[in-house]
Structure 1
Amino acid sequence: MADDGAVTVYNSNAITDPKKSPFSIKVGMAQALHGGAIIEVTNSDQAKIAESAGACCIIVSEPVPGGVSRMPDPSLIKEISRSVSIPIMGKARIGHFVEAQILESVGVDYVDESDTLAVADEDNFINKHNFGVPFVCGCRDLGEALRRVREGAAMVRTQGDFNGSGNIVETIRSVRKVMAEVRILTNLDEDEVFAFSKRIEAPYDIVAQTKQMGRLPVVNFASGGVVTPADAALMMQLGCDGVFVGPEIFDCLDPYECVRAIVQAVRNYSNPRVLAEVSCGLDEAMSGLNLGENRVEQFGNRGTY
């Protein structure tokens, strides 16, 4: 979004376990992914492709299951961690702190409290301050983003498409909404911030900090529908710090070239000549991404990516 070096966080450690990593350290760890592409994979072969193509991180998920979707098998995470050297992210269900404990114990670098999985707790999110590993949470507006930050999220992903169909319109809508609310907040008089924080149902201290910084206090990635270099560059030009790319990218004829093109687009998002170069020749490679009704239905119960 804005300055690369912004690691300012709210000044409260009252709900932070002193035995765990301070929140500022977690934010810094998440910020190490700034300007990168996080690729969702379901096996070690895909993980190796993502790493060789330049992904900054991989997020592990199970192949689309029938019934309730849960965290990935720990043995799958261990297998993938032995095959790559880049950071690994694992998914836990919303509110399921035991899944998060298991993921932390098997050595993931980040945990995604993911609305792409079935919801475990309808009323409560995980208290992410009780963990040493940084957490990622989804949002569709500024209030939701800042509530997750108060709970300890070191990164947020502004999310859109829920079915893996490659439709980016919902992601654009959510990203523009978050950015617009940040701009509104930045231009408010100090006395108006109290009412604004109440209206968006977010903690006043983090709202005030967001106003001061002119951006979210943690890194913000776009998630959902990003399948082309142009999609990725658009998200970056709208103000995001990076992108999530779903596992559907591996359904194309040449997944390495597709992932590589998106990585280059994120790194060179303001250079139309580079974007044109990395977009050349992808039509044939991405032919598998023309999803039909069966594929859209298959992804219907999944989340953002």
Structure 2
Amino acid sequence: MAEDGAVMVYNSSAITDAKKNPFSIKVGMAQMLRGGAILEVTAVEQAKLAEDAGACAIVVSEPESRRRGGGISRMPDPSLIKEIKGSISIPVITRSRVGHFVEAQILEAINVDYIDESEALALADEENFINKHNFRAPFVCGCRNLGEALRRVREGAAMVRTQGELSGSGNVAGTVRSVRSVMGEIRVLNNMDEDEVFSFSKKISAPYDLVAQTKQMGRLPVVQFAAGGIVTPADAALMMQLGCDGVFVDSEIFNSPDPYKRVRGIVQAVRHYNDPHVLVETSCGLADAMAGLSLSEDRIEQFEHGGD
């Protein structure tokens, strides 16, 4: 099986502790989320709604009022995380700053199910990412190309979040570009002669063994989700048809008269992404529900000038 191949790379080379979960377990835990939608939430009520609508997991984020206050964005308040975790039964993912291994230690101590080392927060370390092999919890990391994805996997990421624009503008174009970049590089790799793989791995600054494994599997060696600008069932189905294993949905989706209908529509679109009849059904009647998620002219201009 392809999943078994992803595990074997680390059987002899992973930096692990006997008290920590081996990488194979982390990869298996992340694969349990495959084919699902992960919702960003900022309150207990949103978490319960996401669970009721069929989300496979939730990401706890700071309340919007705190994020608008400016300053440094950090991991959410542990009391909020514990309150949300105690109110639902689906897995809880929580963000830490890039390179901030102490935030990750705190999150692991309160038993979050997954840790997202997220660029959506302020950077704690501009040069180094967390050594994720030192933790029991599986990590999620972002990427925009194949080399970046495989570097995060080498550091211990059990799930890759292929991302685009992260400011919540509802523009999916950056995410499409990143997903197509990863998938395109994998297709190029698949058509290479074995002797060319060494040069290719050097070109994209990725570990050779993981590049070779990606070529053998024809996909990334870990679960790949898409994130950024996904606000409609059609957006979610697009990511799935491009080859992703699931989607992350921003908390802005709750800013509507009927957030349950919107979340449920995206969940159904992820599950039935190749069924146009289901996609028609999930997309009907969402015009009012999408109010507030249209791109403003200033946001479009910002995106076109590299805003993601």
Evaluate the alpha carbon distance shift between residue 4 and residue 194 of structure 1 in structure 2; reply closer, same or farther with a 3 A threshold: closer
| Inter-partner Cα distance in structure 1 for 2:13 and 2:109 | 24
1:118 maps onto 2:128 in alignment: no
| Inter-partner Cα distance in structure 2 for 1:250 and 1:260 | 12
| Inter-partner Cα distance in structure 2 for 1:176 and 1:117 | 25
1:62 maps onto 2:66 in alignment: no
Between 1 and 2, higher relative CO (CA 8 Å, sep ≥ 6) is seen in: 1
- TM-score under structure 2 length normalisation: 0.92
Evaluate the alpha carbon distance shift between residue 296 and residue 121 of structure 1 in structure 2; reply closer, same or farther with a 3 A threshold: farther
Deviations along 1:121-177, one digit per CA (max 9) or x if unpaired, are 001000000001000000000000000000000000100012211000000000000
1:253 maps onto 2:251 in alignment: no
1:153 maps onto 2:153 in alignment: no
How big is the alpha-carbon RMSD for the aligned residues of Structure 1 and Structure 2?
A: 1.9
TM alignment of 1:1-305, pairs within 5 A: 8-9=6-7, 10-11=9-10, 12-64=12-64, 65=67, 66-290=70-294, 292=296
Q: Give the letter for the 1:21 counterpart.
A: N
Q: Give the letter for the 1:39 counterpart.
A: L
C-alpha deviation, 1:271, in angstroms: 0.3
C-alpha deviation, 1:252, in angstroms: 1.5
2:94 alignment partner, SS class: strand
Note if contact 1:92-1:112 (Cα within 8 Å) is conserved in structure 2: yes
Evaluate the alpha carbon distance shift between residue 17 and residue 154 of structure 1 in structure 2; reply closer, same or farther with a 3 A threshold: same
| Inter-partner Cα distance in structure 1 for 2:145 and 2:98 | 18
Q: Give the letter for the 2:49 counterpart.
A: I
Deviations along 1:5-44, one digit per CA (max 9) or x if unpaired, are 5662313334222321010100000000000000000000
Alignment match, 2:304: none
Q: Runs (4+) of structure 1 moved beyond 4 Å? A: 3-7, 291-297
| Inter-partner Cα distance in structure 1 for 2:116 and 2:14 | 24
Evaluate the alpha carbon distance shift between residue 14 and residue 38 of structure 1 in structure 2; reply closer, same or farther with a 3 A threshold: closer
2:62 alignment partner, SS class: coil
Note if contact 2:5-2:213 (Cα within 8 Å) is conserved in structure 1: no
Note if contact 1:54-1:263 (Cα within 8 Å) is conserved in structure 2: yes
C-alpha deviation, 1:272, in angstroms: 0.4
Evaluate the alpha carbon distance shift between residue 277 and residue 296 of structure 1 in structure 2; reply closer, same or farther with a 3 A threshold: same
Which deviates more, 17-26 or 219-228? 17-26
Alignment match, 1:300: none
Deviations along 1:204-240, one digit per CA (max 9) or x if unpaired, are 1111111111100000000000000000000000000
Q: Give the letter for the 1:38 counterpart.
A: I
Which deviates more, 246-255 or 144-153? 246-255
1:261 alignment partner, SS class: helix
Q: Share of identical aligned residues, percent?
A: 71
Note if contact 1:221-1:244 (Cα within 8 Å) is conserved in structure 2: yes
Deviations along 1:34-55, one digit per CA (max 9) or x if unpaired, are 0000000000000011000000
Q: Give the letter for the 1:144 counterpart.
A: E
- TM-score under structure 1 length normalisation: 0.93
1:33 alignment partner, SS class: coil
Evaluate the alpha carbon distance shift between residue 250 and residue 219 of structure 1 in structure 2; reply closer, same or farther with a 3 A threshold: same
| Inter-partner Cα distance in structure 2 for 1:288 and 1:124 | 37
2:140 alignment partner, SS class: strand
Evaluate the alpha carbon distance shift between residue 187 and residue 52 of structure 1 in structure 2; reply closer, same or farther with a 3 A threshold: same
Which deviates more, 278-287 or 225-234? 278-287
Note if contact 2:228-2:248 (Cα within 8 Å) is conserved in structure 1: yes
Deviations along 1:161-209, one digit per CA (max 9) or x if unpaired, are 1221100000000000000000111111111110000000000111111
Q: Give the letter for the 2:29 counterpart.
A: M
Q: Give the letter for the 1:123 counterpart.
A: E
2:117 alignment partner, SS class: strand
| Inter-partner Cα distance in structure 1 for 2:189 and 2:111 | 38
Note if contact 2:154-2:207 (Cα within 8 Å) is conserved in structure 1: yes
Q: Give the letter for the 1:49 counterpart.
A: L
